[in-house]
Structure 1
Amino acid sequence: MTITWFISLLLIYMILSFVISALAVRKKIGRLKVFLFSIFLTPLTGLLVYKLSAPAHVLSIQRYRCVRCGVDFTEPIGDCPYCKKEGRHTSLHAIQVVCI
């Protein structure tokens, strides 16, 4: 009976550590450090470290994509030049590209 309780508590401890480390993807500290804090100290400490960590630098780029051929452009031009060569006038749609 005590072995079963110990294994179930250990399993819950590990699952909490994995979940908290998965949350830290967009933080500067990273998943590995939060996971190690959660394992060696407690998942509550890992959660505290996660909450206090600064967010990772996020780069947001404005792009313009042709819906017909799927080519991305960095400047807002009226029509896709590749589609225009084929005699079609396809307008470009603005999209946001987010990188961590």
Structure 2
Amino acid sequence: MQAEGEEEVICVVLTDEQGNEHEFYQDMVITVDDKQFAVLVPMEDCCCEDDDCDCHEHDEEEDTCVIARMDFDENGEAVYTAPTDEEYEAVAAKYDEMFEDEE
């Protein structure tokens, strides 16, 4: 059970070109041109729901975010796919703009 005000951690497993699986958590969703894109941050160890687990902590120096387009299947479940180059550039620009506003 989650404490009030805490968001659910969404775990995403992506498979690279070599067939290796990599675990990420969904940090945020950015909408561009009526499409949703997830900003995914690598997880170190596991995707668990154990309140005492520290698996969601990460080393800022080693992390690289991944942007994935969120398509939805017939059941409404998110399917994460690679964005086009144009989509990636638009999402990256919006992401950068969001953090410029915070400074």
TM-score under structure 1 normalisation? 0.21
TM-score under structure 2 normalisation? 0.21
Which protein is richer in strand relative to its size? 2
Which protein is richer in helix relative to its size? 1
In our comparison, the structure showing a higher alpha carbon Rg is 1
Higher relative contact order, chain-length normalized (CA < 8 Å, sep 6+): 1
